[in-house]
Structure 1
Amino acid sequence: MRFEGAEMRMIHSKMRMCAAGALAALVLAASAVKAETPAASLAVDTAAEAVLANANVRKTLDDIKAADEATFADQKTIAAVPSSPYKEKVRAEYYLKRMQELGFKDATIDAEGNVIALRKGTGGGRPRLVVAAHLDTVFPEGTDFTVKEKDGMVLAPGIGDDSRGLAVLLTLIKAMNSNGLATVGDIMFVGNVGEEELGNLRGVKALFRDHHDIDGFISIDGLGVSRIVNQGTGSHRYEMTFKGPGGHSFQEFGLPSAIHAMGRAIAKIADLKTPAEPRTTFTVGTVSGGTSVNAIASQAKMAVDMRSNSTEELLKLEARLLDLVKQAVADENARWGSDKISVDIKLIGDRPAGVTAAESPIVQATQRAVTAVSGVQAKLVGSSTDSNQAMSLGIPAITIGGGGEGGNWHSVNEWYRNVNAYQGPQNALLAILMLSGLDGVSKPALPVRQAGN
């Protein structure tokens, strides 16, 4: 997952003009958002004003800014620890050690590979808010994860996605502990596996399978602070293998071809129409097959990606596309009077769609936090992140950036600049305190979910 950085440089000039550390600016920022959001809940308004006016919170924000270089150092250290899909163990063990050093003696690695550390509140366990960042990268085993510096940038696979998020969690914990910030609700800090590509969100799926007392979920994934992901783009991915008898292209001409059948399928898929809203897309991403130029192909394979912001539209597209693939097989067999072509269809990716309403306390609290630390109004956007799973279960969830700017996502030349990066953990801190409640200062704005919901 990533946040686009093109608009960040325009916004940063405005950010530098904002005195986010001053009490007057913070309170005025909160009031401005309140005025612009008539539907804001009283609980969020009350929590925001109390948290932003608290002297200890302001000191913690200043400490986070002062620790900017330390956070950046953690980020580079984490990025250098290898973590490939389904091979996150080394990084998970390192991250567990860091959590234990911060006082979480009961921190564990669960059966799926997630690192879990529970910071208990004063309210008996609820509400319980998860704050997560993902341990995995898209890069295969054997990738060189060495961190390099060039032209004022740091380059490394996954340096921003999501080494930044993992470093932000550590900074949050250190800042909260050193300033004695006690929350009312519990906070579960999680370094989860399986966010990228064919990981299929296996880490957060296991988390929600094993923990039924989660009331809210924040994923720190991406950079900057100007965007809040409150809509989860769902996706289904398939691997389709076409099989046939094969043969010599001249002497056995007339036999059906696996590649021709796949070609017919691709042509049919290319003519599909999907709605612009809710945004629904498809692509045949990879193809392979055949043995030589003068052979009728006995096998061909393609991978198909389908996405939508609506579960209903995703399922509609899926049904139509799978039917077209079967029609293509029938057409190739009919062309040659054969029944030798078949197709094996395998689901290899499944991310549910979902949405957290703009009126939800988790969205509104984070909007206030963004304005308080940066002076800008956050945009609500859609993307495919760990929050998808929570949203699909009806659990309030968002994804926010960890600060800084970067690019070349999912490339070994991914780059990062530590520009206004401290705003990432500052933003997360304020959102956490508003939602979880600050003991003796404010009540939690995050509602406790009812049993069965």
Structure 2
Amino acid sequence: MSITPVSELPPVPERVEEAMRRLSASESVKSLLEAIRQDDDATRDQQIEICEVPAPPFKETKRGELLLSLFRQYGLKDAYVDEVGNVLGLRRGTGNGPVVQIAAHLDTVFPEGTDVTVKKDGNTYRAPGISDDTRGLASMLCVLRQLDQLNIQTVGSILFTASVGEEGNGDLRGEKHIHFEKKVPVDGFIGIDAADVKRILAGATGSHRWLISYDGPGGHSFHKFRIAPSAIHAMGRAIAKFADLPVPEDPRTTYNLGTIKGGTIVNAVAAHCEAQLDLRSGGNDELLKLEKTVLACFDEALEEENRRANAEGDMKLKLTKKQIGSRPAGVADDLSPVILAARAAQETLGIPLTRYASASTDHNVPLSLGIPSTTLGAGGVEGNNHALDEWWTQEEAWKSPQLVALTALLLAGVDGLTEPTLPKRA
């Protein structure tokens, strides 16, 4: 299923538009939107505070402790840290309505020991992780803080979540734990990730990641030439087989051998070589087909390298394939209640929809389960994400928490004002 071009999206239904008109005309929601705008500098300051608490891959504990204290400070008295490190807090609704999950991720891509001190340059702030996803966490906290201060009561409940393991080999382990293992009841999902508030994610780019290893006896590069098979040569043979492999453009499908290492010295036949392989697609069928084709290339390369050396018994290379990542793919229905709510909120706030796209992030998990899901922008302008010189500029940054808040309120309903537009799942 392809992503629909923006120009071909169906109109937002009148019932959704009418509910949004009632919300946006109410004094309580007007006060909320204005309070969020006035809170812009405080939200930025909190963003800086969070950024300067390191959250390396698989080591998000300290940042999680900060988020837990802030959740409790802003009214989520029963907030807790789960078995894998996610921070969750339920803001209970007044009725038997749906549960809307709002999530941003705790982890960054930067290793332990990285200097995460934020440096100010005019209206721009520079530090590893200053935007991805520190800004998402700050935007989420702004929504929670203002709902608490203005005592806005929703019909449905809102589950605020600071998740672990979104980046890299974290493999979405936080959201997988919530939805696959604990099966926490959720009827709709709103992620906050990447700055652009003009973008709505409708699709989840799936990925399968593999650690590929060749191992053999090795030997002297001169004396064992064409006698001992080379682990590095075998890897090279495999790469050559799929380097020009044609792949579909719709859904977009890609492959990449992202890291490779092996050997010990220039004059030794390599006894070991390993590489990490990343396969991606917007469609699960295309992803599985690509995976089968590419993995077969490593098997063929093994046979060819062993055959070239006439290797027998203990002299033969061995191949190990270990899956280290699996992110499900999927595409939301254009009439999904979460998509419609986000579009209605953008229209109300005067935010044009310029990108209706697919990406790989926390919403992959709930979307794969049929839970209406999207990811919205965290606000401001960003650059050089995942690099040491990552930067973020405070440019109309309040639009993100306004957008997230309006979307969530439309879905959950506001007590005495609107009913939820998000159905409860069976």
TM-score, reference length from structure 2: 0.95
1:229 pairs with 201, 204, 209, which one?
201
**Segment drifting more, 36-45 vs 233-242:** 36-45
**Segment drifting more, 136-145 vs 377-386:** 377-386
SS in structure 2 of the partner of residue 277 of structure 1 = coil
Match status 1:100 vs 2:76: no
Aligned counterpart, 1:448: 424
Query: For residues 114-138 of structure 1, what are the alpha-carbon distances to aligned partners after superposition, in whole Å with 9 as ceiling and x for unaligned?
Result: 11110000112x3001001000000
Aligned counterpart, 1:387: 363
Cα distance in 2, alignment partners of residues 211 and 186 from structure 1 = 16
CA contact (8 A) 1:224 1:421 kept: no
After TM superposition, what 4+ stretches of structure 1 lie above 3 angstroms from structure 2?
A: 36-43
Cα distance in 1, alignment partners of residues 335 and 45 from structure 2 = 37
Residue ranges of structure 2 left out of the alignment (5+ in a row): 1-5
Aligned counterpart, 2:135: 164
Alignment size in residue pairs: 415
Aligned partner of 2:120: which letter? E
Aligned counterpart, 2:413: 437
* 1:50 shift after superposition: 1.3
CA contact (8 A) 2:197 2:351 kept: no
Aligned partner of 2:198: which letter? S
Match status 1:253 vs 2:225: yes
For 1:415-434, list aligned pairs within 5 A. 415-434=391-410
For 1:197-276, list aligned pairs within 5 A. 197-208=168-179, 209-254=181-226, 255-276=228-249
Cα distance in 2, alignment partners of residues 38 and 290 from structure 1 = 56
SS in structure 1 of the partner of residue 208 of structure 2 = strand
Cα distance in 2, alignment partners of residues 367 and 38 from structure 1 = 11
Aligned counterpart, 1:294: 267
1:138 pairs with 109, 134, 158, which one?
109
**Segment drifting more, 96-105 vs 198-207:** 96-105
**Segment drifting more, 115-124 vs 373-382:** 373-382
CA contact (8 A) 2:17 2:344 kept: no
CA contact (8 A) 1:92 1:114 kept: yes
Cα distance in 2, alignment partners of residues 375 and 304 from structure 1 = 38
Cα distance in 1, alignment partners of residues 330 and 275 from structure 2 = 28
Cα distance in 2, alignment partners of residues 389 and 212 from structure 1 = 12
* 1:277 shift after superposition: 0.8
Go from structure 1 to structure 2 and tell me whether the alpha carbon gap of 1:232 and 1:37 turns closer, same or farther (over 3 Å shift). closer
Cα distance in 1, alignment partners of residues 309 and 138 from structure 2 = 60
Query: For residues 185-207 of structure 1, what are the alpha-carbon distances to aligned partners after superposition, in whole Å with 9 as ceiling and x for unaligned?
Result: 01000011010000000000111
Match status 1:310 vs 2:283: yes
CA contact (8 A) 1:234 1:351 kept: yes
SS in structure 2 of the partner of residue 293 of structure 1 = coil
Residue ranges of structure 1 left out of the alignment (5+ in a row): 1-32
Aligned counterpart, 1:362: 338
Cα distance in 2, alignment partners of residues 287 and 38 from structure 1 = 46
Aligned partner of 1:190: which letter? T
CA contact (8 A) 1:374 1:423 kept: no
* 1:261 shift after superposition: 0.6
SS in structure 1 of the partner of residue 418 of structure 2 = coil
SS in structure 2 of the partner of residue 57 of structure 1 = helix
Aligned partner of 2:197: which letter? V
SS in structure 1 of the partner of residue 409 of structure 2 = helix
For 1:38-49, list aligned pairs within 5 A. 39-49=11-21
Aligned counterpart, 2:323: 347
CA contact (8 A) 2:12 2:344 kept: no
CA contact (8 A) 2:12 2:343 kept: no
SS in structure 1 of the partner of residue 109 of structure 2 = coil
SS in structure 2 of the partner of residue 158 of structure 1 = coil
Query: For residues 342-390 of structure 1, what are the alpha-carbon distances to aligned partners after superposition, in whole Å with 9 as ceiling and x for unaligned?
Result: 1111111111111211111110110111122234235311111100011
Cα distance in 2, alignment partners of residues 433 and 50 from structure 1 = 11
Aligned-pair identity in percent equals 45
2:379 pairs with 377, 383, 403, which one?
403
Aligned counterpart, 1:87: 59
1:280 pairs with 225, 228, 253, which one?
253
* 1:227 shift after superposition: 0.1
CA contact (8 A) 1:161 1:222 kept: yes
SS in structure 1 of the partner of residue 395 of structure 2 = coil
Aligned counterpart, 2:3: none
Aligned counterpart, 2:298: 325
* 1:210 shift after superposition: 1.3
CA contact (8 A) 2:198 2:351 kept: no
SS in structure 1 of the partner of residue 310 of structure 2 = coil
Cα distance in 2, alignment partners of residues 46 and 374 from structure 1 = 17
CA contact (8 A) 2:9 2:334 kept: no
Cα distance in 2, alignment partners of residues 151 and 357 from structure 1 = 42
Aligned CA RMSD, in angstroms, stands at 1.5
**Segment drifting more, 366-375 vs 393-402:** 366-375
